[in-house]
Structure 1
Amino acid sequence: MTRWHAFISLLSLSLLSACAAGPDFTRPEPSVPAAYTGPSDIRSVAGQTIAIDFESPGNWWQSLRSDRLDTLIEKAMAHNPDITAAKATLRQANELYAARSGTLRYPSADIGVSGQRQRFNPGSLGMPGGPREFSLYSANVGVRYSFDLAGESHRILESLAAKADFQRFELAGARLTIAANITLTALAEARLAARIASMNEVLAAQKEQLRIGNGQLRLGQISNDHLTQLHSDYDRTDAEVLRLREQWQETRHLLATLAGDAPSSPDIPDFRLDEFSLPEILPMVIPSKLVRRRPDILASEALMHAANAEYGAAVARLYPQLNLSATPGTQSPTMGGLFGPGTAVWSLMGQLSQPLFHPGIRAEKRAALAAFKASEARYQKSVLTSFREVADALRAVQSDAERFTVLSKADQAALSLVESSERQLKLGATSELQVQIARQKYATSKLPLIDVQTARLNDSVALLQAMAGEPPADEKP
């Protein structure tokens, strides 16, 4: 028993005294600017306020105030294949950590029972006596443990934990990406529906022009070439409507797929632009805080942490290794006497080894260091990319708001022309054909306004997504 007490004491001491080789990981402190676009960072645009150092809620898409969009995104969070795969990958990473943790942190033990029948012939060794046969039964427990003297096991587990963090941030990023893709696709569907409606107004006006033109042709007021041109304009508009309808249907197929449904799903709503509201407040997290909340940056940081730990494990392999094994058991010539008195046997073995000539180990160390440098560069790139996305979104919010103001004036001017021509028609000062031409121009003028309305919503989504952290998880993997 004294020997076993010594073994357990030595094991406990090793667990407490193991140190990790290589540098400990320190969270990077990237160089961050004071502002995203310089001293003139935008504070407000038409109808929207950009709140400095304001963090949006996790479900940022709810600020568009579309209940049907909220329902569709909630469905996607539960059924989208990308999110399902990310959840499974995270569970895999957690289980891999648990598996290696059990292998590296604790001793392994196996129980074995064996029986054998032997024939021994003393004459083969020049000894007197005839052949003898006997049985030998044994039962034992094998215990093995590798002491983590240089901290290789510690670094391996540290790397696996960092990789599990990476998968957690990847899951958060997948949720944000799916939410953004569904939102942008819903806005694209609404834009196409609005353009189709406006183009149908153009078609209606052109159809009236054809009707009037046929009458004028019979009266000799216009030429046949003029009527042919009217037909050509109508056909081109009709073809454009067909193209828009095709794009609208494809957009609905994409929405269904993003939600985890078949393209033919009847559960996908028909989105319209008027059901979306511009967020009154847009958040702008300061750069120093953004790098601590964006999932893509945190994922890059986790990979950098894993690379640092793998470098430490490579360094630890240059140091001595200590392995200890013990096998207590019993042996008996009969099965019944296997656990009787006087049958106990045991063995205890320790092995200390120091790498002497292993050129590959040092090459592995250099490779691990290079991998860490590469992960560090990728982290810096993710930080810079995030700042660029925010800067682009801020400028787009401002630019499209200005375009919206200008196009709204043009739209109102076109509407005024329609109203003026209708008044003149009642007074007999203009023809019905001129009224239809004015209506066509007004319907056509609404197309760029529809585009810029959608662009403003898209800009808000881009800024919300760029500032977003991890949305609430619907399950804990």
Structure 2
Amino acid sequence: MKTHAKALLVPDSVPVSSARRGRAATPLRSLVVALAAATLGACSMIPVFERPAAPVPATFPQATPTAAPVVAPLADTIAWRDYFADQRLREVIALALENNRDLRVAALNIERARAQYGIQQADLFPSIAVSGGQSAQRVPGDLSMTGDSNVSRQYSANLGFASYELDFFGRVRSLEEQALQNYLATEEARRSAQISLVAEVANAWLRLAADRERLALAHNTRQTRQASFDLVRRSLELGAVSALDVHQAETLLQSARADAARFETVVAQDRNVLAQLVGGGVPDTLLPDGLEQAVATVAELPAGVPSEVLTRRPDIVQAERALLAANASIGAARAAFFPRITLTASAGTASSTLDGLFDGGSGAWSFVPQLRLPIFEAGRLQASLDLAEIQRDINVAQYEKAIQSAFREVADALAERATVAERIDARRKQVAATQNSFKLSDARYRGGVDSYLSLLDAQRSLYAAELELIGVRLIEATNRVELYKALGGGWQ
């Protein structure tokens, strides 16, 4: 049996004369007391909830094993202001949390669910209202006992409630529990939306940093190739090189020009994405200068986090709330098989004249209990129960899928993290090797040992290696953000 104790307003008086007040108020007061007792004794038919077991391993793959357990804060306990060190990035995220429209919709959904819960919760109590009215009726002479037409009037003033359901079997309380869980689920949805927004803003900011660095590299490469092209062209005029060398140098120059123009577009698009996420323009003072500084602003989480932390993610909690709501709907469907008792009661005064409405002896009351017992519903009630149980099973599957998806997100981030350091080291060594190769090719070309084509290949290789290094450094930075997001960080 599930009981809830809540206050009920018991009227101490009704508008009747002092001689009749006690007798008129007694039935309504006694009835409200009985309603309170019935509410306290109402039973619940909601099935006992058991959280489904997480259908994932106990530990993450690619998590670095440690000889002793490392005591480190969980990601969802680290506020985003503490995780991102760069003050510019923190200010950009703060602007997004304040102005982003998707997050604003998520917050308004919470308010809507709270209002819906308040409406459902109000059904636990009778709606007490004061009413007053007048009725007039004219009876023609041929229908009157006296043979004369007459007009009869009646005035009344009452205090009472109508169609209040005694929740003996917990139907109304089950619906209230369902509305409560839906309301709590929207709160978790807003937290989940904030996590996604924080990660999207951080990744967009980091991509802008990387593309700005690519743009600077493209401009520097263009200037270098322009100088090289001018030198080869002067050498052609002196007869030191062939026209083929000039055309090859111009090919690299135009390629660098195209790359510079392309990265100009990419940087502008990155700023547009960031502005959309923030919900307005982002000042230039809050934009990153380059990726090298931006990577240092993102903290690194410890590996080896057990998979139980996934149940703390807001989207997982939201799925669990939806499962609880579906569980409560089963209780309401079960209670529909049992009798429903509704009460309508009022107490007040009635008189044939307005000035006699509050005279002695004008007290009046009414009490109308109703019982509805389903006998034949053509399978409707059983179908409703089956539907509620099937919906519960669907929510169980969705809950388990949400855990599996979250586990995969963390596992993917850890898998990338396991190799990203080696990739960065390899790319840095590749850049160093191609730089040495370029220097040697340039020296051999100037010494007349190699053709200009070998020098051009060395230039292309160096440029491509530098771009690859920027790309893998961006992967390292965004991987830290993705792991922070996958572990449920960013909602605080």
Calculate the TM-score normalised by the size of structure 2.
Answer: 0.86
Aligned residues: CA RMSD = 2.8
Q: Which residue of structure 1 lines up, in the alignment, with residue 59 of structure 2?
A: 35
Q: Which residue of structure 1 lines up, in the alignment, with residue 479 of structure 2?
A: 459
Q: How does 1:204-223 map to 2 (within 5 A)?
A: 204-223=223-242
Q: Which residue of structure 1 lines up, in the alignment, with residue 190 of structure 2?
A: 171
Q: Which residue of structure 1 lines up, in the alignment, with residue 111 of structure 2?
A: 91
Residues 60/380 of structure 1: CA separation in 2 closer, same or farther (3 Å cut):
same
Match of 1:17 among 11, 34, 41: 41
Q: How does 1:415-434 map to 2 (within 5 A)?
A: 415-417=435-437
Task: Give the Cα separation in 2 of the matches to 1:187 and 1:51.
Answer: 29
What secondary structure is seen at the aligned counterpart in 1 of 2:131?
Answer: strand
Q: How does 1:220-235 map to 2 (within 5 A)?
A: 220-235=239-254
What secondary structure is seen at the aligned counterpart in 1 of 2:74?
Answer: coil
What secondary structure is seen at the aligned counterpart in 1 of 2:365?
Answer: strand
Cα deviation for residue 76 of structure 1 reads 0.9
Identity %: 26
Q: How does 1:30-429 map to 2 (within 5 A)?
A: 30-37=54-61, 41-43=63-65, 54-56=73-75, 57-60=77-80, 62-102=82-122, 104-121=123-140, 123-124=142-143, 127-144=145-162, 145-262=164-281, 269-278=287-296, 279=298, 281-284=300-303, 286-358=305-377, 359-417=379-437
Residues 96/271 of structure 1: CA separation in 2 closer, same or farther (3 Å cut):
farther
Task: Give the Cα separation in 1 of the matches to 2:78 and 2:95.
Answer: 16
Bigger mean CA offset, 364-373 vs 21-30? 21-30
Task: Give the Cα separation in 2 of the matches to 1:326 and 1:284.
Answer: 66
Cα deviation for residue 449 of structure 1 reads 0.7
Cα deviation for residue 169 of structure 1 reads 0.6
Cα deviation for residue 275 of structure 1 reads 2.1
Task: Give the Cα separation in 1 of the matches to 2:82 and 2:230.
Answer: 48
* 2:228–2:249 CA contact under 8 A, matched in 1: yes
What secondary structure is seen at the aligned counterpart in 2 of 1:108?
Answer: coil
* 1:256–1:268 CA contact under 8 A, matched in 2: no
Cα deviation for residue 117 of structure 1 reads 2.9
Task: Give the Cα separation in 2 of the matches to 1:300 and 1:28.
Answer: 11
* 1:89–1:167 CA contact under 8 A, matched in 2: yes
Cα deviation for residue 260 of structure 1 reads 1.1
- Report the AA paired with residue 291 of structure 1: L
Cα deviation for residue 4 of structure 1 reads 3.3
Q: How does 1:1-12 map to 2 (within 5 A)?
A: 1=23, 2-12=26-36
- Report the AA paired with residue 319 of structure 2: S
Cα deviation for residue 233 of structure 1 reads 2.3
Task: Give the Cα separation in 2 of the matches to 1:208 and 1:12.
Answer: 92
* 1:61–1:183 CA contact under 8 A, matched in 2: no
* 1:169–1:295 CA contact under 8 A, matched in 2: yes
Gaps of 5+ in 1: 45-49, 473-477
CA deviation map 1:73-117 (0-9, x unaligned):
011111111111111110111121112211x11111222211233
Cα deviation for residue 321 of structure 1 reads 0.4
* 1:22–1:312 CA contact under 8 A, matched in 2: yes
Residues 446/372 of structure 1: CA separation in 2 closer, same or farther (3 Å cut):
same
- Report the AA paired with residue 37 of structure 2: L
* 2:55–2:404 CA contact under 8 A, matched in 1: no
Cα deviation for residue 227 of structure 1 reads 1.7
Cα deviation for residue 245 of structure 1 reads 1.0
Give the count of matched residue pairs.
461
Task: Give the Cα separation in 2 of the matches to 1:470 and 1:403.
Answer: 28
Match of 1:449 among 459, 466, 469: 469
Cα deviation for residue 8 of structure 1 reads 2.4
Task: Give the Cα separation in 2 of the matches to 1:121 and 1:461.
Answer: 87
Bigger mean CA offset, 396-405 vs 378-387? 396-405
Bigger mean CA offset, 66-75 vs 50-59? 50-59
